[in-house]
Structure 1
């Protein structure tokens, strides 16, 4: 495995992040690296929100992985704070190197550091390899999720 760091994403990381989002069977139909304008606006909103943390894994001088961690306050579980992991991606040429596990462990540790009672994530039902990956890391498939496109 190569040396890498996990750090808060910067605006100049957005293009690399969008390429990772689009390099995927689902993202290829949803994301467009040719038009960064909406992604840069979203980045600014994420960056300004203290409950949001967009990070990248950097190997050498390139962003090769990413995820977004959201801190969700709630009344359930005696007012517990939850960490929500979203948009986990590792660049294709770095998959299988252990970076994904390191990135998820970083998100778990950061959630714990911020006082979360649990960490949760969702994964599209078609991503069976990702499901096995998350289960190997200790996540349990306890809920069924629903979405409504607006």
Structure 2
């Protein structure tokens, strides 16, 4: 069973490696030593924002084996309902199929409940068919169509 904790700056290389560990991620991420400053700046912004939480799953030796980002979003619709947004979910390739992903998402949902969120939402690239099935098995429903505009 993994332990979940807030990510630290020293976790960034492992997190970035997991983000890059698939065909889509390879086209989006930059693995470098030292860590690209853009990741460091993003990490620092996440750390400063009380409505952001970058979490990691670690094994018994404190090796990072999973990660995700939680955003707690206030809203006016639905009577001022807060939403939990789950993003950047990744599991180390050595841990895929172990049940860690489900454990991590259930943990994230509990964090959202504890923060007073009335719903949890997430997005997944339509090309990640395994991920889409995974989220549906966990009870998520594809109730909305999503759009993105990349600059």
Q: Distance in 2 between matches of 1:90 and 1:29?
A: 18
Alignment of 1:51-66 (within 5 A): 51-59=51-59, 60-66=61-67
Q: Distance in 2 between matches of 1:69 and 1:21?
A: 15
Q: Distance in 1 between matches of 2:14 and 2:31?
A: 9
Return the match for 1:21 from 19, 22, 32: 19
| Count of residues in correspondence between the two structures | 148
Aligned residue number for residue 128 of structure 1: 129
SS across alignment from 2:29: coil
Q: Distance in 2 between matches of 1:51 and 1:32?
A: 26
Q: Distance in 2 between matches of 1:121 and 1:98?
A: 19
Alignment of 1:5-20 (within 5 A): 5-20=3-18
- Structure 2 gap ranges (5+): none
Give the Å deviation of 1:105. 0.3
Give the Å deviation of 1:43. 0.3
Give the Å deviation of 1:61. 2.1
Aligned residue number for residue 149 of structure 1: 150
Query: What RMSD in Å do the two structures reach over aligned CA positions?
Result: 0.8
SS across alignment from 1:134: helix
- Structure 1 gap ranges (5+): none
Give the Å deviation of 1:33. 1.2
Runs of 4+ aligned residues of structure 1 deviating over 2 Å after TM superposition are: none
TM-score by length of 2: 0.96
TM-score by length of 1: 0.96
Q: Distance in 1 between matches of 2:131 and 2:99?
A: 13
